[in-house]
Structure 1
Amino acid sequence: MNWTDERVEKLKRLWSEGLSASQIAAQLGGVSRNAVIGKVHRLCLPGRAKAGGTVATGRASAAKRTTSAPRAPNYASRVTTRTVTRAVGATMVKEEIEIEPYQEMEYRPASNVVVPISRRLALTELTERTCKWPVGDPLKEDFHFCGCESPDASPYCGYHAKLAYQPVNERRKVAARV
């Protein structure tokens, strides 16, 4: 399919009217939705017209989406402004965008957890009924395994089993917060 000047002008007109790439492809005929999207990108056309009559560029609207994303309640919101340069057509445009710096959450260990005293076993000392939870760096001399008694069906003691096996719902909650 060749993009004639006439078809390109029709593409530009339909795009500025706010039609989707699928609708434009149907009106042009003989062209796919992806071909329309590719041509729009190569022509550096601005974002489609919205119902309110405003036109937003793809990158600017993406930046707005990321800055207005919901935040975790534990983060302090400090917004800084940064000037960036981006290409629009054949010119470079400077614009100010708001960014939020990354902040780590403060770790507060639970105070009611009882950590069992490990028996500090070497690999050769482990049996079917001992906890095989590794402790420390394997390349260091003080590396060892927990060695506490473990139930028949588990390689870990009760404490380390709770660390190793988390309920599915808890993992989903943690993943949703991140």
Structure 2
Amino acid sequence: MSWTDERIEQLRSMWEKGLTASQIADELGGVSRNAVIGKAHRLGLKSRPSPVKATDAKLAKPAKSPAAPKPAAAPPRAAVPAAPRPAAPPPKPEPRPAVAAPPTPDGAAPVPKPDAPRIVSIGPGGFIRQGPGDQQAPIPPAPPRRLVPAKPSPEIADKTSLLDLNDRICRWPMGHPGEPDFHFCGEAVNPGFPYCVEHCGRAYQAQLPRGTRRPPPPPPFGGPRVR
């Protein structure tokens, strides 16, 4: 059913009288409650609080129960001091039995054993850690010794040894290092060389021209075998 001007005026009058949307729908006929609410909203009518919520709030509010009378307070009791208890004597420690030390074979005084057991701690890898009582005092360092050069053997007493070498004397070895009279030349060096003039002639030899060089001797037995 369409909304005519007459039905709109009826809706306005019943809305202003305070009728609910369901009552207005029943009076108009042919419309639902939601249609009445939507039309009132579109017409800009004044909104009203929901009667259902107000009724529910009144029903949900509990009634106040009469206050129960408070019990009468008991009269204060006089404080009676408690009698002091006698202090119990501390327990006496039990004496430990004395352990007799075994006699020493040389007749010396026996060394008393400590009462506390020795705790051994095993560290990673199986080694035994030292306790505070097992650590020894640090050993003081020995006094510095004065290095005294060894006396040379009689074979090289007046010859140049390894300790006597420098840049100004010849370093040509004389003899075999395993022999007791092994020494060095000791003469003045040839300027710019580590040896003297005589030993420079033996250490540095000029090569012959390429055409006058002798071929190397043939290897024995016809040369090396090729496998």
- Report the TM-score when normalising by structure 1: 0.30
Higher relative contact order (CA 8 A, sep 6+): 1
Higher helix share: 1
Larger Rg belongs to: 2
Compare the two structures and name the one with the higher strand fraction.
Answer: 1
